[in-house]
Structure 1
Amino acid sequence: MLKLFFATDVHGSETTFRKWLNAAQHYGADVLLMGGDLTGKMLVPIVQERDGSYTARFEGAEVRVDDQRGLADLERALRQRGYYTQRMTAEERARYQTPEQVEELFRKHMAEVLEGWVGLADERLDPGKTPAIWMPGNDDLEFIDEYVNRSKAIQNGDGRIIEIDGYYVLSIGNANVTPWNCPRDVTEDVLARKIDELAAQVPDMSRCIFNVHAPPWGSNLDLAPELDEDFKPTMEGGGLKMVPVGSTAVLEAIRKWQPLLSLHGHIHECSAGIKIGRTLCVNTGSEYHEGVLRGSLVILDPKKGVKNYALTVG
């Protein structure tokens, strides 16, 4: 038996990444897999005011703390949500006038956090005992590959097939084109070609695990709020109107290749498992913003395939 733990879309959250690292011990997992979208989405300046207090604006509100303990608590809470933080004076903040200056600071924090995660993983995980794979997702800038590749304990699976205990993990972090034109969005044709080129190299599809960031279209693993032309959610019947936004290329690849297991992320609102033909397809969803790790524990039997699986919240 092989017990596999999968989670995805941590988006820079310190809390959820550490929980993933601890999942081998907590759940007794033999293998750890991390889907795409490793980096955070926001940088929050924490400004030191003239009276010695600190202020930060995020999620539409201003927070003020008056001492070092409050400052540490604020930084910890922001990092739990996946936000990067930068202490600065009002004068220093005023110097950041251009998008290029902000982007440079953002990249600096992405790199520093990933370096810290690599160090933590290399300290806590024994790759000979608990193999681990992670990959960038469509939200992640290309430059982070340098840092993702540095870990001795976690392999970067993106665009590769990695064999673990006789199973073949095929990983692709790209997604079909989104309204935000993310760094690793690609057309459906490109995504289909990427999957097919790798899948053709798998010697035994009955022992193949797809780790593909985008979920299959129309599978109920890909439901997200419909957006209007101003990128605001549309309403229907007193609630959000949900529509499928997954990938047709991923759907067709699963139908064509019928891997043993197909693991997905990208759409945070979905947490479910379904069957497409013989293939068990799972999207764990994500609540990184709350410091909650959504995952899936899958038990693989060398003779029977997927013996059991469970969606986890921790």
Structure 2
Amino acid sequence: MIKIFFTTDIHGSERCFRKFVNAGKFYNANILILGGDITGKGFVPIVRLKNGYYEANYQGNEEIVSKDELPKLEEEIRFNGLYPYVTTEEELEVIEKSPEKRREIFKFVIKHTLEEWMVLATERLRPLGIKIFVSPGNDDDPVVDDALFVSKYVINPDMKVIEIYDNVEMLSYGYSNPTPWNSPREKTEEEIYNDLKSLAGQMDYNKFTIFNIHVPPFNTPLDIAPKLDKTLKPVVEGGSVATENVGSKSVRRIIEEFQPDLGLHGHVHESPGSVKIGKTLSLNPGSEYSDGILRGVLINLDEKKKKFTFQFTMG
């Protein structure tokens, strides 16, 4: 009997990442899986003023702190899924005028933060013998791939089939079908199907098989999201926000064709739940990263009998 803890879509929240790492010991899990969209959506410049204080515009407020108070402000920013970046008044002018400079800094803080996270995970989990798998999702810049290699203990399983335990194989895939945000890792449905068919064909279905695919299957309870207009604002119909299915048709098709034992998904924060597609049980724990809440699912697996139970978690 093994225990697997799965979570996804923490979007740069250091509070959620630390909870994820601690979940191994808390739940007595053998394996931790972080399923994608691991990075934040922006950085917050903290300007070093000439009087020795530091100033930041954060969450609509102007924060001015001393050098001693700076670590607390940086921690608060990290815990909310953003990246603090200490800079000068002169550099801030360049940042405000140059999209290229903003992209450069954003990639730098993503890579630096992830490298720190990988070191932390290794230090905490290696002594306990808990395996950890961290893969990117559609929102994650390619710089993530380099950062994940900083630790030889943390495994990036993306675009691979890996035996994660005796008699347990996992396919991982971080790309999504096109979204309104034109995120870094998107492909057409045809490309997704071809990629997944190639990977799924490598699996031994006599073993317990897991499809760790970031985007959920189309037209299920796992892929319902607010419908957006051309300005990316929610569409209101009859006094309520309209919804639509945004998952991948190719993911659904590949599940129907290959019928793995378990599907692990994320991408759509608003749709936690489970669904059966043929014999495959697919799960999406959802995400509340912006509130520092880690949503996950704990899977108790008898890999020899290919039987399992699951429980959604939140904390």
After superposition, the C-alpha distances for 1:36-68 in whole angstroms (9 at most, x for unaligned) are 112111111123456655432344x12323434
Deviations 1:190-218 (A, max 9, x none): 11111110111111166110100000111
1:259 and 1:63 mapped to 2: Cα distance?
A: 51
TM-score by length of 2: 0.94
Structure 1 range deviating more: 276-285 or 147-156: 147-156
CA contact (8 A) 1:41 1:83 kept: yes
Q: Deviation per CA, 1:161-214: give whole Å up to 9, x if none.
A: 110221001000111111111111000111111111011111116611010000
The whole-number CA distance in structure 2 between the counterparts of 1:143 and 1:64 is 30
Q: TM-score scaled to structure 1, two decimals?
A: 0.94
Over the matched positions of the two proteins, sequence identity in percent amounts to 42
Matched with 1:67 is: 66
CA distance in 2, matches of 1:22, 1:255: 35
User: Which runs of no fewer than 5 residues in structure 1 stay unpaired?
Assistant: none
1:74-112, Cα deviation, whole Å (9 max, x unpaired): 221110011011122333211222111111111110111
Task: Name the CA distance, whole Å, in 2 between partners of 1:195 and 1:127.
Answer: 34
Separation in 2 of the partners of 1:62 and 1:31?
41
Larger displacement relative to structure 2 (15-24 or 84-93): 84-93
Q: Take 1:107 and 1:270, find their aligned partners in 2: how far apart are those partners? A: 29
Cα distance in structure 1, aligned partners of 2:58 and 2:265? 29
What does residue range 161-310 of structure 1 map to in structure 2 within 5 Å? 161-163=161-163, 164-204=165-205, 207-310=208-311
Matching residue of 1:91: 90
Task: Report the Cα distance in structure 1 between the residues aligned to 2:152 and 2:195, rounded to whole angstroms.
Answer: 26
Partners of 2:138 and 2:153 lie apart in 1 by: 23
Q: Which one-letter code corresponds to 2:162 in the other structure? A: I
What residue identity is the alignment partner of 1:35? Answer: G
2-side partners of 1:142 and 1:72: how far apart? 29
CA contact (8 A) 1:6 1:297 kept: yes
Matches within 5 A, 1:103-122: 103-122=103-122
Amino acid at match of 2:201: A
What one-letter code is carried by the residue in structure 2 that aligns with 1:152? K
1:16 aligns to what? 16
CA distance in 2, matches of 1:149, 1:72: 27
What is the SS of the residue equivalent to 1:186? coil
CA contact (8 A) 1:7 1:296 kept: yes
The amino acid that maps onto 1:215 is P
What is the CA distance between 1:157 and its match in structure 2? Answer: 0.4
- Residue type at the aligned position of 1:293: L
Give yes or no for the alignment of 1:37 onto 2:49.
no
Q: Letter of the 1:276 partner, please give it.
A: I
Q: Choose 67-76 or 82-91, whichever is displaced more.
A: 67-76
Is 1:46 paired with 2:46? yes
CA separation of 1:238 and 1:121: change in aligned 2, threshold 3 A: same
| One-letter amino acid matched to 1:198 | L
Distance 1:41 1:281, change over 3 A: same
Partners of 1:222 and 1:246 within 8 A in 2: yes
Task: Name 1:156's counterpart in structure 2.
Answer: 156
Q: Using the alignment, how far apart are the partners of 1:183 and 1:283 within structure 2? A: 22
Instruction: Tell me the distance in 2 between the aligned counterparts of 1:51 and 1:160.
Output: 53
> Aligned letter for 2:296?
G
Give the 3-state SS of the residue equivalent to 1:91 in structure 2.
Answer: helix
